Amino acid sequence: MKMKDIGEFEFIDKIRNGCLIRTDGVVQAIGDDAAAFQLDAGKLTLVTTDLLVERVHFLRDATTGFNLGYKALAVNLSDIAAMGGMAREAFISIAVPVDCELAFLEDLYRGMRHLASQYDVNLLGGDTTGSKTDLVINVGIVGSVSAHAMLTRQAARPGDRIFTTGYLGDSRAGLHLILNGITISTGDYEALFEAHILPHPYLAEGQFLSAQTGVHAAIDVSDGLVSDLGHILSASHVGARLWCARTPVSPQLQRFCTQFGFDSVDYALTGGEDYTLVVTMAADHAEAARQSYERRFGKPLFEIGEITDTGRLELVDPTGRVNPAVAKGWNHFKKG
């Protein structure tokens, strides 16, 4: 069955089941002219949106609806995570070509509901309209955060240590495999595919870090470490040194780079869409925060560098030599 066989209103009736994951705080869910809900009293409201366009951000033939829905929601949850916030309500607007299979869209909502239920987020509304040829999906999320705990890009200070919550570069390697027709069943690259297709939103980690003493700035890695750390540097008017030998590279990425002749540090520094968090912490609190993070989550918080007062991003290579980073990171990113 195609979208043109059922129309907008029957479609909304089909997908709305299971969209209300948490009743607490919700006064009006899908079905009226607007949603109504109560956010946590005394907290700041966070709002973020991301737009995904077929042939620009995804290929409809190369993805399942489930994976596309999951990722569309995950990238938005990641933005809330990078503010140290809690995600509460999601709004999904879609422009659907008439030939789009209904089953694909139902699968898309299954993917979103699957992830939403893990984080107690409601799918609370949206809009549905037609499109000539391409599928367009916009997800918006409303969340909340305590004013004193909110993490921003502008709070890094010289002397801060820089950490990241997960491996870097896996997602770009997964994309390389997909674009070259190498499928999930070949090799032992599951973690690389998964990093690209089903990224983990670091919401619990972001909330935990935002509550630690001495945690200053944060951002999520969407465009690549060099590029995204660059946003912290310009917003905070600081510089940074990254220790190349300490960028967290997964065993699978290491194996992938050996097999295909790529540089794993380059992947870690410039690969995009990892959606790990990068946080800066005051040096005298960093070790305690790192230890309590590792106790809480049972996984490492990787230390990758330090904030400086130079205004520039520098890379320390494994021999200890310091090189300017900008040209390499940016050029490579633009080409990629």
**Site residues (CB under 6 A) for ligand ADP?**
12, 30-33, 92, 94, 123, 125-128
Q: Of these partners, Mg ion, ligand ADP, none, which one is at the site of residue 126 (CB under 5 to 8 Å by kind)?
A: ligand ADP
Smallest separation (angstroms) from ligand ADP to the CB of 30: 4
Smallest separation (angstroms) from ligand ADP to the CB of 128: 4
Smallest separation (angstroms) from ligand ADP to the CB of 190: 31
User: CA 151 to CA 215: how far, in whole Å?
Assistant: 8
Q: Of these partners, Mg ion, ligand ADP, none, which one is at the site of residue 94 (CB under 5 to 8 Å by kind)?
A: ligand ADP
Q: Determine the residue type at 177.
A: L
Question: Counting Cβ atoms within 10 Å, is residue 320 exposed (0-12), middle (13-18) or buried (19+)?
Answer: exposed
Quickly list DSSP for 232-296. Answer: HHHHHT-EEEEEGGGS---HHHHHHHHHHT--HHHHHHH------EEEEE-HHHHHHHHHHHHHH
Extract the runs of DSSP E, i.e. beta strands, from the chain: 26-28, 36-37, 44-53, 86-97, 122-131, 136-145, 161-164, 215-220, 239-243, 277-281, 302-308, 313-316, 322-324
Smallest separation (angstroms) from ligand ADP to the CB of 114: 15
CA–CA distances in Å: residue 259 to residues 177, 252, 280, 325:
12, 10, 34, 26
Q: Of these partners, ligand ADP, Mg ion, none, which one is at the site of residue 7 (CB under 5 to 8 Å by kind)?
A: none
Choice between 80 and 123, CB closer to ligand ADP = 123
β-sheet with 161-164: strand ranges across: 215-220, 277-281, 161-164, 302-308, 239-243, 313-316, 322-324
Choice between 35 and 82, CB closer to Mg ion = 35
Q: Of these partners, Mg ion, ligand ADP, none, which one is at the site of residue 318 (CB under 5 to 8 Å by kind)?
A: none
Choice between 72 and 277, CB closer to ligand ADP = 72
Choice between 116 and 281, CB closer to ligand ADP = 116
Q: Of these partners, ligand ADP, Mg ion, none, which one is at the site of residue 12 (CB under 5 to 8 Å by kind)?
A: ligand ADP
Q: Of these partners, Mg ion, ligand ADP, none, which one is at the site of residue 92 (CB under 5 to 8 Å by kind)?
A: ligand ADP
Smallest separation (angstroms) from ligand ADP to the CB of 39: 18
Smallest separation (angstroms) from ligand ADP to the CB of 201: 20
Choice between 31 and 130, CB closer to Mg ion = 31
Contact 1, 103 (CB under 8 A): yes
Nearest of 56, 70, 75, 73 to residue 135 by alpha carbon:
56
Choice between 109 and 202, CB closer to ligand ADP = 109
Q: Of these partners, Mg ion, ligand ADP, none, which one is at the site of residue 313 (CB under 5 to 8 Å by kind)?
A: none
Binding residues vs Mg ion (CB under 5 A): 33
52 beta partners: 137
Contact 56, 62 (CB under 8 A): no
* Residue whose entry in the numeric block shows the structure tokens 């305690």: 288
Cβ-closest residue to ligand ADP?
A: 125
Choice between 3 and 269, CB closer to ligand ADP = 3
Nearest of 53, 274, 258, 236 to residue 156 by alpha carbon:
236
Q: Of these partners, Mg ion, ligand ADP, none, which one is at the site of residue 166 (CB under 5 to 8 Å by kind)?
A: none
Smallest separation (angstroms) from Mg ion to the CB of 140: 18
Longest dimension (CA), the chain: 64
Cβ-closest residue to Mg ion?
A: 33
* Residue whose entry in the numeric block shows the structure tokens 């709002």: 47
Smallest separation (angstroms) from ligand ADP to the CB of 131: 13
Choice between 20 and 204, CB closer to ligand ADP = 20
